[in-house]
Structure 1
Amino acid sequence: MTELPLLLLHAFPLDARMWDLVRAPLAERLRLITPDQRGLGRSPLPETDREPSLDDAARDVLALLDRLELDEVVLGGCSMGGYLALAVLKAAPERVAGLVLIDTKAMADTPEAAENRLKVAERAEAEGVQGWLADAILPNLLHNQEPAERVRELIDAQSPAGVAWAARAMRNRPDSLDVLRKSDVPALVVVGAEDKLTPVEEAGKMVDALDEATLVVLPGAGHLTPLEDPAGVVEAILGWFA
């Protein structure tokens, strides 16, 4: 597995810069790929009348693999990036040699969470994202507040249209536990001990659904462990690869 590239998909509503603190130490040992997802960071939002779906974002990832001439990768993601990784696994399991699931879950949204995502999408389209989105979600994103200003900068930099599309796509995603049960790939599951959004219990459900899974719980970290405990994330990933 050490010869396979690692492709990491970022969280919502951020972009690939969320991996900056883990990029260099991982890249010393692995071929690392960290794309922006559609509508976020530097990735454009395609014009389409289709209902937002992570299935379309999964096709973006597969198209990227085709352009890079990669038959398979170890596929990872944090939060929304994990949801997208599971969508890729469902669409093309032969392209996924392993999973790195960070602060994410396989369950669909509860009705309350789905309603909140719709409110985020509608407000982003009406008002943009600056001045309210970071304030609304930072308390749940971080336990360790040290990276709060950097996270705020990343949120404020996102396209309102991209944020709205991603929120709706996450709202529409199905339960993916069966995707994990049908998979036979090895997996690393990383979660912050203080994660409020995708807590340790949700990580445990994914581990239970997988045939071969390693669980790493990082103490003192919340939902964005690559920013709150980058050394812990790097150690977990490199140790698992080894």
Structure 2
Amino acid sequence: MASSLGAAVAVRSAPRHRVDAPVVATAADLALLGRPSTPAHDLDRHRRLLAVADGRIAYYVDDPGPGVDVPAIVWLHGLPLDARAWDAQRAHFHGRSRNVFVDLRGCGASDRIPAGTRDVTGLYVADLKRLFDRLDLHGDALVGFGVAGHVGLRFAALYPDAVGRLVVINGSPRFRRGAGWPWGIDDAGIRQLDAAWASGGPAGLIDAMLDPGRVLRDVTAVEVAVISARFRAMAARTGAATLTAFLDGISRDDDRDLLPAITAATLLVTSPIGREVPPEVGLYLRHHIAASLLAEIPGADHFVFATRPRLVNLLLDQFLLRHAPLTLPLPREGHRER
């Protein structure tokens, strides 16, 4: 193991070594996640719209102001969320970087996915390229979670000059199991999601995607209620076509052949109890992306950026802003690092 964040985070550049120390989200974590908007952190007041092919996307620039030289970070949410999912990260990185939060097409305030779109990942990548060009971003940082981590992998492979540092949180080059790929959603899982859609429509599919028994097993019932309420408010603005885009399109992607083309320094963040993207996927990515590190957050489930915000923020801070070795002092005796 190359280095470690004490007993809290395992950081790897070689074969996997599990760390089983439990990490429990604190009340402060949840207060941060559910904090009321303030003028400095009100996302809507930073909204801008960008014309893209067959529509517009919404993005939000949290900029420390003219004359302040800080790096730029582009943040991409997963499904069925929107840019508000990054509240805890927005609070942490405010004033320390030029933060650009994006609503993917079909989510938040962005326009819907155009009818007949076959390659939704390709659409997201094209939108992202348009945004990078509009903001004159070259060699800057890109952070993606879940489906957006998948988008980030393809974008970094196709446009290596655009991305200097890449963070993939529980993302995968392929989401469905198949020949030579034993991880991710199997046929039974797809049938369950299809059945949820057939019986309950968009609401039924959202219930399945946000089922706490699958994706929020690392927090208490009270914490589940807080996080679920926020996530469902975002999901309510997600178009039906966006939800089915994962089942019918994105989940069928296989971008493994693109991974060797990624030249950006890459941080892979995984959750050891995650079912949507098992931690073995992170190990696979580590071995196929040349300049990569693998960090596992012990005891964390799929939405680790929301359930373990302090650890994730510290990890991203060191990697994106300080370009420092990913290390932390060991916690004090009897003290659990959060």
The aligned counterpart of 2:275 is 196
What is residue 316 of structure 2 aligned with on the other side?
237
Supply the AA of the counterpart residue of 2:242: G
1:173-188 alignment, distance < 5 Å: 173-176=253-256, 178-188=257-267
Residues in 1 aligned to 2:157 and 2:198: alpha-carbon distance in whole angstroms: 30
- Give SS of 1:34's match: strand
Amino acid at match of 1:232: L
Offset of residue 203 of structure 1: 0.8
The structure 1 segments of at least 4 consecutive aligned residues displaced by more than 4 Å after TM superposition are: 114-127
**Correspondence for 1:29:** 96
Question: What are the residue-to-residue correspondences of 1:118-197 with 2, within 5 Å?
Answer: 120=193, 124=197, 127-131=200-204, 133-135=206-208, 137-138=210-211, 139-145=213-219, 146=223, 147-176=227-256, 178-197=257-276
Aligned match of 1:225: 304
Partner Cα separation in structure 2 for residue 202 and residue 4 of structure 1: 29
Residues 219 and 95 (structure 1 numbering): CA distance in 2 closer, same or farther, change over 3 Å?
same
Q: Given residue 240 of structure 1, which amino acid in structure 2 is its aligned partner? A: F
How far residue 190 of structure 1 moved from its aligned partner, in angstroms, is 1.0
Task: Give ranges in structure 1 of 5+ residues lacking alignment.
Answer: none
Structure 2 residue identity aligned to 1:184: T
**Cα distance between partner residues in 2 of 1:75 and 1:33:** 9
Residues 45, 204 of structure 1: CA spacing in aligned structure 2 closer, same or farther, 3 A cutoff? same
* Percent of pairs with identical residues: 22
Contact 2:72–2:98 under 8 Å retained in 1: yes
Q: How does 1:41-190 map to 2 (within 5 A)?
A: 41-110=108-177, 113=185, 120=193, 124=197, 127-131=200-204, 133-135=206-208, 137-138=210-211, 139-145=213-219, 146=223, 147-176=227-256, 178-190=257-269
The amino acid that maps onto 2:144 is G
> Which is richer in helix?
1
Residue 13 of structure 1 corresponds to 80
Which piece of structure 1 moves more, 120-129 or 30-39? 120-129
Shift of 1:153: 3.0
Measure how far apart 1:148 and its partner are. 3.0
Structure 2: tracts of 5 or more residues without a match: 1-68, 179-183, 323-338
* SS of residue matched to 1:12: coil
Normalised by the length of structure 1, the TM-score is 0.86
CA contact (8 A) 2:120 2:249 kept: yes
User: Higher Cα Rg: structure 1 or 2?
Assistant: 2
Aligned pairs, number: 240
Residue 108 (structure 1) shift? 4.6
Q: 1:6 to 1:103 in 2, by over 3 A?
A: same
Task: Tell which deviates more after alignment, 33-42 or 212-221.
Answer: 212-221
